[in-house]
């Protein structure tokens, strides 16, 4: 059987069968019906979304021999229609802008257009990749498209709209082509396979549609590959094995193991993918898709075609262990690897390094969360460990089994303000000035936080004296006095209370 590649077989023959470009189809159809034609059309948009097909369809609409007037329904069977579809019509001249970039090439067109079409209404120039023309060529073109003979039409197509000079754009009727959605691509692929009587599983088709990244042509090319490698039935497993990509299950396993501290196992699975022939670049690509999907999930997006896989396929463990902040860091890190991949010694090593970083991602704390935590700590420090104001001496004595004979000589105002007691003692006896915040009472611990290393040393040298003084003053030998130079200790204490 003479096998025709799907992209050619399924190339649309009229605007009604164009996929995903309804706006363009409607606008052009409208102008054809009202015979309000522009001298030049500019089709812009990503590759493989139907720009060249649309240019040919427009040409058949203009030149179909079966219709008396312009029609949005070209017959598809007359000589003009069939020749235009294959790019062999003498009156429809297709030029590749990439290889005809010079002024002379354009001058050639200027001379040619003086001759009317041989057996059609219009002489049509389709210039693909028009952004590749030189500045001189664009200038030469300018005059021509402004006032061409009535029978001449230009259709330009480009993937790089921004490279087209404004002077050219302003003389064209511009149409922007969009990327085609996964759902729409999938539907087309399904149709193509049914026509060929090839079986398929839904996951496999979804993956092909996703990999095409909005390009119908790429989707058909992938489909042809899939048909070639499968024996009458396309399954995701077969695609994974033969087209070399990591499935989401493998990625889940690698990431779960990494996050659970089993990096060895994760690297082992990673290497099994390399052995299967999946390149490190492909895994990098798959990981980026994965983390991109996680980012969307964290923002509450569940749409399968945006995520690239059904939401339930993404590991819950991975989702639980990573915060939005972590996912952002990881995604940025993958972008960095990708950017530097041209100069990388070995991308495989970089992927492994990425996993190693992932294994300790929990140590990275979100600065905004940290600020919040610090604010909490601050609040705690202000309110919670306020020097424990002891009860009135009488009450204190009642509850205490220890000798009630308290020496209260240094205690003022009938209250046990230990902090103040210590503060006064240090100032009077040793001329050391400490503020109230430095002294914290936690259970039976009195912790004095030194402001500096020097103060710490100084306090340490009189530790026993202070301890004795406290015991004597409170008549309570359970107080444990410590000096610390570490604020973290205090923070930890508060958090673990």
- Residue ranges that bind Zn ion, judged by CB under 5 A: 64, 66, 74-75, 78, 81
Min CB(69)–Zn ion separation in Å: 13
Say which residues have a Cβ less than 8 Å from residue 18's Cβ, sequence separation at least 6: 12, 24, 25, 50, 53, 54, 57
**Residue 120: exposed, middle, or buried by beta-carbon count in 10 A (0-12, 13-18, 19+)?**
buried
Min CB(75)–Zn ion separation in Å: 3
Min CB(66)–Zn ion separation in Å: 5
Min CB(181)–Zn ion separation in Å: 31
Cα 410 to Cα 1, 407, 418: the distances in Å are 109, 8, 11
- Please name which of 437, 461, 455, 457 lies closest in space to residue 447, comparing C-alpha atoms: 437
Task: Give whichever of 119 and 362 is closer to Zn ion, judged by the CB atom.
Answer: 119
Min CB(85)–Zn ion separation in Å: 10
Task: Give whichever of 65 and 441 is closer to Zn ion, judged by the CB atom.
Answer: 65
Number of H helices, E strands in the chain: 24, 10
What are the beta bridge partners of residue 43?
A: 157, 175
Phi–psi pair at 151, nearest 5 degrees: -90, 10
Task: Give whichever of 62 and 226 is closer to Zn ion, judged by the CB atom.
Answer: 62
Min CB(77)–Zn ion separation in Å: 6
Contact (CB, 8 A) for 263 and 355: yes
Task: Give whichever of 48 and 74 is closer to Zn ion, judged by the CB atom.
Answer: 74
Task: Give whichever of 75 and 442 is closer to Zn ion, judged by the CB atom.
Answer: 75
Min CB(121)–Zn ion separation in Å: 12
- Please name which of 215, 230, 229 lies closest in space to residue 7, comparing C-alpha atoms: 215
Task: Give whichever of 81 and 164 is closer to Zn ion, judged by the CB atom.
Answer: 81
Contact (CB, 8 A) for 280 and 274: yes
CA separation for the pair 426, 205 (Å, rounded) = 79
Min CB(2)–Zn ion separation in Å: 24
CA separation for the pair 100, 120 (Å, rounded) = 25
Task: Give whichever of 121 and 171 is closer to Zn ion, judged by the CB atom.
Answer: 121
- Alpha carbon 211 to its chain centroid, in Å, reads 16
Rg (the chain; Cα; Å): 39
Min CB(76)–Zn ion separation in Å: 6
What are the beta bridge partners of residue 125?
A: 93, 154
Task: Give whichever of 13 and 210 is closer to Zn ion, judged by the CB atom.
Answer: 13
What are the beta bridge partners of residue 389?
A: 417
Task: Give whichever of 74 and 214 is closer to Zn ion, judged by the CB atom.
Answer: 74
Contact (CB, 8 A) for 122 and 41: no
């Amino acid at each position: 059987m003479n096998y025709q590649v799907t992209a050619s077989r399924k190339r649309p023959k009229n605007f009604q069968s164009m996929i995903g470009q309804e706006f363009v189809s409607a606008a052009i159809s409208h102008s054809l019906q009202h015979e309000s034609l522009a001298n030049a059309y500019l089709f812009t948009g990503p590759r493989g979304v139907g720009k060249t097909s649309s240019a040919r369809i427009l040409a058949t609409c203009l030149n179909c021999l079966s219709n008396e007037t312009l029609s949005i329904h070209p017959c598809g069977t007359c000589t003009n229609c069939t020749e235009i579809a294959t790019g062999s019509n003498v009156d429809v001249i297709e030029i590749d802008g990439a290889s005809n970039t010079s002024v002379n090439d354009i001058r050639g067109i200027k001379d040619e257009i003086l001759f009317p079409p041989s057996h059609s209404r219009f002489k049509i120039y389709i210039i693909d990749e028009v952004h590749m023309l030189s500045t001189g060529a664009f200038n030469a073109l300018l005059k021509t498209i402004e006032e061409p003979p009535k029978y001449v039409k230009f259709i330009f197509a480009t993937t790089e709209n921004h490279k087209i000079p404004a002077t050219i754009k302003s003389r064209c009727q511009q149409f922007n082509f969009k990327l085609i959605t996964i759902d729409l691509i999938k539907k087309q692929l399904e149709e193509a396979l049914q026509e060929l009587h090839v079986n398929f599983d839904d996951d496999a088709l979804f993956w092909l549609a996703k990999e095409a990244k909005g390009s119908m042509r790429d989707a058909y090319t992938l489909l042809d590959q899939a048909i070639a490698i499968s024996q009458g039935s396309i399954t995701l497993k077969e695609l994974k094995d033969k087209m070399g990509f990591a499935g989401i299950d493998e990625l889940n396993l690698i990431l779960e193991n990494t996050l659970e501290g089993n990096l060895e196992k994760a690297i082992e699975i990673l290497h099994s993918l390399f052995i299967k022939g999946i390149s490190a670049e492909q895994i990098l690509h798959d990981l980026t898709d994965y983390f991109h999907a996680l980012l969307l999930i964290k923002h509450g997006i569940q749409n399968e075609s945006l995520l690239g896989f059904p939401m339930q396929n993404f590991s819950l463990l991975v989702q639980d262990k990573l915060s939005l902040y972590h996912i952002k860091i990881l995604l940025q890190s993958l972008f960095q690897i990708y950017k530097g991949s041209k100069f990388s010694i070995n991308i495989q090593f970089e992927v492994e390094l990425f996993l190693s970083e992932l294994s300790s991602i929990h140590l990275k704390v979100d600065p905004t969360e940290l600020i919040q935590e610090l604010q909490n700590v601050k609040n705690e420090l202000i309110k919670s460990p306020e020097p424990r104001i002891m009860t009135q001496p009488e009450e204190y004595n009642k509850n205490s089994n220890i000798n009630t004979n308290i020496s209260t000589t240094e205690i003022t105002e009938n209250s046990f303000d230990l902090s103040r007691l210590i503060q006064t003692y240090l100032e009077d006896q040793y001329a050391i000035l400490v503020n109230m915040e430095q002294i914290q009472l936690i259970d039976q611990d009195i912790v004095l936080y030194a402001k500096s290393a020097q103060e710490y040393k100084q306090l340490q040298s009189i530790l026993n004296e202070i301890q004795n003084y406290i015991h004597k003053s409170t008549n309570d030998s359970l107080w444990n006095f410590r000096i610390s130079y570490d604020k973290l200790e205090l923070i930890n204490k508060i958090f673990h209370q």
